[in-house]
Chain A
Amino acid sequence: MSDLSGGRRDTLRAEQIGMIFQQFNLLPFGSVLDNIVLPLRFAPERRGRVGDPKVEARALCEALGIPDVLEMKASALSVGQQQRVAVARAMIGRPPIIIADEPTSALDETSQAAFLDLLFDQVGQHGTALVMVSHDPRLSDRFDRVLRMEDIVQLERQDA
């Protein structure tokens, strides 16, 4: 993959990977709908899997429990709502891989569990691989495979 040109890497990232960031990174001035469908703009294949982007975005929002926010500005949402919008943005067009970077760090324990339920539910429905980074070892039970950062670092040190 590291041999690919910059442009090909961009396309690959757009087509294959949905990203959920620690700070969600929504465009605050855009509407929720625009934020959710933004990845489709750069990924024709994902765009092709979606019939009507607006309908798809609404369906995702309903599934994620935020049915009424489509027309709102992203900056007007609560943290929990923003997080769900970030998930919807990552899920739209069903990319094969979702990378989530500490998506639960901003949530208390109860909300964390509820959010993970939602996330796993969606990932399970679409058969998507979820790669998630977390500081919280309690979440590890829910994943098929767990890599500890310390182990990777040690491996690299042995290599060197």
Chain B
Amino acid sequence: MILRLALGSLAARALTVSMTVLAIALSVALFLGVEKVRTGAKASFADTIYGTDLIVGARTGSVQLLLYSVFRIGNATNNVSWETYQDIAERPEVAWIVPISLGDSHRQFRVMGTTLEFFEHYKFRQGRGLEVADGALMADLFDTVIGADVAQALGYTVGDPIVVAHGIASFTEHEDQPFRVSGILEKTGTPVDRTVIVSMEAIEAIHVDWQNGAQVPGQSTPADVLRQMTLTPKAVTAALVGVESRLQTFGLQRAINQYPEEPVMAVLPGVALQELWAIVGVAETALLGVSAMVVVTALIGMMATIFSSLNERRREMAIFRAMGARPRTVMGLLVLEAVVTAAVGALIGILLLYLGLIIAQPVIDSAYGLWLPIEAPSLRELWVLLGVIAASAIVSMVPAIRAYRLSLADGMMVRT
């Protein structure tokens, strides 16, 4: 009967109570949302490159190799000679190898020379491959495939001409050999979105008339002549390698690291990604801080609403006391109400979150390349929900004790 009366009391204050529930629900949804973004960002980062067993490049730091070969940040200090590349490619452990040649740029985007195998073997996010959204892969020497961000930022469509600049942030351009956009890739959320991809031969072709980093004056080989030439690359910047069997990864890595003719190295992408995350993980800590602040704000808001609801209930509590209810019972009623409110709020918050995820997931994926998985709440999230409910019980003790100390007479005089 006491429970029935408590529920009746809740129902009688439906508007105020639903506001409290809504506030808690929003806070919980916000907190879980921030958590989702945090874990999603971490997962998306870790999923930038998938299915590649080794990244090979000139001897340098593993993070640096990862940065320039996968994230297109910074520059390679050295290249790997074509002969070395061939040697590695011919090793029996190697199932596939994709060369990458970097160094030129288009506007603010990097130009990457590679082979068509790149589109086949570059995977991200649990094995998803690159898809052409519009047009086709390179067929001609001067064809280029551009990432989704490049197309969007520069407003390119299939068939548009592109002039590649020599070097990065440079004023000298390969004006005499313009490229044509043959395809635009789907948004991936990886650095591929910000890359202009051309063939290895094209990289060679645009540098035929160049010596020591500058174009030989007055010399410009016509495009048709270039198409007839045999364009063998002199060097590659890095290479992505897949092994026949996972067990051979470490053996191949050791062999490459000890390659006698040239200082080259091979790194495991996963390990290098973790090292890199340890550096950029500050952002994660910041998001974690935001999460914590959201929860604290929610709890304080909840305390405020419970406090104000106490005012509404003072007379009710006084009646209970006058009927002989012990302070313990009165406190119990208040705490129970707070816990029920918080629990319902948390539940609605979860529902809001999943509803929001279902709606926003495709949008966020295509706009930011951030994949937010829809899955059951993690143990950590459940703990936080439990914490919210427990905190509501503790917080409600304050008004409950106040209710206990307010004398009967005080409560009786409050008019409803």
- CB of B247 within 8 A of chain A? no
- Which residues 298-354 of B have a CB within 8 angstroms of A? 315-316, 318-327, 329
Check if A29 sits within 8 Å of B8, measured CB to CB. yes
**Alpha-carbon separation in the docked complex, A58 to B5 (Å):** 19
Check if B11 sits within 8 Å of A29, measured CB to CB. yes
**Alpha-carbon separation in the docked complex, A21 to B316 (Å):** 13
Instruction: List the A residue with the shortest CB-CB distance to B10.
Output: A29
Check if B327 sits within 8 Å of A6, measured CB to CB. yes
- CB of B412 within 8 A of chain A? yes
- Which residues 191-219 of B have a CB within 8 angstroms of A? none
The 8 Å CB contact of B324, one of A11, A23, A28, A37, is A11
Check if B325 sits within 8 Å of A25, measured CB to CB. no
- Which residues 30-60 of A have a CB within 8 angstroms of B? 30, 34, 37-39, 41-43
Contacting residues, chain A, for B316 (C-beta < 8 A): 27
**Alpha-carbon separation in the docked complex, A30 to B416 (Å):** 15
Check if B326 sits within 8 Å of A39, measured CB to CB. no
**Alpha-carbon separation in the docked complex, A34 to B3 (Å):** 11
Check if B5 sits within 8 Å of A42, measured CB to CB. no
Instruction: List the B residue with the shortest CB-CB distance to A12.
Output: B324
- Which residues 1-55 of B have a CB within 8 angstroms of A? 1-2, 4-5, 8-9, 11-12
B340 CB, nearest partner CB in chain A, Å: 16
- CB of A14 within 8 A of chain B? yes
- CB of A7 within 8 A of chain B? yes
Check if B1 sits within 8 Å of A41, measured CB to CB. yes
Check if A39 sits within 8 Å of B324, measured CB to CB. yes
**Alpha-carbon separation in the docked complex, A23 to B412 (Å):** 9
**Alpha-carbon separation in the docked complex, A11 to B323 (Å):** 10
Contacting residues, chain B, for A89 (C-beta < 8 A): 323
Contacting residues, chain B, for A6 (C-beta < 8 A): 326-327
Instruction: List the B residue with the shortest CB-CB distance to A18.
Output: B323
Contacting residues, chain A, for B1 (C-beta < 8 A): 34, 37-38, 41
**Alpha-carbon separation in the docked complex, A42 to B327 (Å):** 12
The 8 Å CB contact of B323, one of A23, A28, A29, A42, is A42
Check if A42 sits within 8 Å of B9, measured CB to CB. no
Given contacts A14-B324, A15-B324, A27-B319, contact A42 B329 (CB under 8 A): yes
B413 CB, nearest partner CB in chain A, Å: 9
**Alpha-carbon separation in the docked complex, A19 to B322 (Å):** 8
Contacting residues, chain B, for A34 (C-beta < 8 A): 1, 4-5, 8
Contacting residues, chain B, for A10 (C-beta < 8 A): 321, 324-327
Check if A41 sits within 8 Å of B11, measured CB to CB. no
Contacting residues, chain B, for A19 (C-beta < 8 A): 322-323
Given contacts A11-B324, A42-B325, A43-B324, contact A27 B5 (CB under 8 A): yes
A122 CB, nearest partner CB in chain B, Å: 19
**Alpha-carbon separation in the docked complex, A10 to B324 (Å):** 5
Contacting residues, chain B, for A23 (C-beta < 8 A): 412, 415
Contacting residues, chain B, for A25 (C-beta < 8 A): 315, 318-319, 322, 412
**Alpha-carbon separation in the docked complex, A43 to B326 (Å):** 11
Check if A7 sits within 8 Å of B5, measured CB to CB. no
**Alpha-carbon separation in the docked complex, A7 to B324 (Å):** 9
Check if A41 sits within 8 Å of B8, measured CB to CB. no
Given contacts A13-B324, A41-B1, contact A29 B12 (CB under 8 A): yes
Instruction: List the B residue with the shortest CB-CB distance to A33.
Output: B1
Contacting residues, chain B, for A30 (C-beta < 8 A): 4-5, 8
B252 CB, nearest partner CB in chain A, Å: 76
Given contacts A10-B324, A14-B324, A42-B324, contact A28 B416 (CB under 8 A): yes
Contacting residues, chain B, for A29 (C-beta < 8 A): 5, 8-9, 11-12
Given contacts A15-B324, A29-B12, contact A41 B2 (CB under 8 A): yes
**Alpha-carbon separation in the docked complex, A29 to B2 (Å):** 12
Residue of B1, B318, B327 with highest tally of chain A CB at under 10 A? B1
Instruction: List the B residue with the shortest CB-CB distance to A19.
Output: B322
**Alpha-carbon separation in the docked complex, A6 to B327 (Å):** 9
Instruction: List the B residue with the shortest CB-CB distance to A15.
Output: B324
**Alpha-carbon separation in the docked complex, A34 to B316 (Å):** 14
A96 CB, nearest partner CB in chain B, Å: 14
Check if A27 sits within 8 Å of B324, measured CB to CB. no
**Alpha-carbon separation in the docked complex, A41 to B322 (Å):** 12
Contacting residues, chain B, for A14 (C-beta < 8 A): 323-325
Contacting residues, chain B, for A15 (C-beta < 8 A): 324
Residue of A15, A26, A37, A42 with highest tally of chain B CB at under 10 A? A42
**What are 26 A-to-B residue pairs whose CB atoms are below 8 Å?**
A6-B326, A13-B324, A14-B323, A14-B324, A14-B325, A19-B322, A21-B322, A21-B412, A25-B322, A25-B412, A26-B319, A27-B319, A28-B12, A28-B416, A29-B8, A29-B11, A30-B4, A30-B5, A34-B1, A34-B5, A38-B1, A38-B5, A39-B323, A42-B323, A43-B324, A89-B323
**Chain B residues with a Cβ under 8 A of chain A:** 1-2, 4-5, 8-9, 11-12, 315-316, 318-327, 329, 412, 415-416
Not counting A6-B327, A30-B5, A42-B326, a sample of 20 additional A-B residue pairs whose C-beta atoms are within 8 angstroms of each other reads: A7-B326, A10-B325, A10-B327, A11-B324, A13-B324, A14-B325, A21-B412, A23-B412, A25-B412, A27-B5, A27-B316, A28-B416, A29-B5, A29-B11, A30-B4, A30-B8, A38-B1, A39-B324, A42-B329, A43-B324
Which 4 pairs, one residue from A and one from B, show the smallest C-beta to C-beta distance?
A: A14-B324, A42-B324, A29-B12, A29-B8
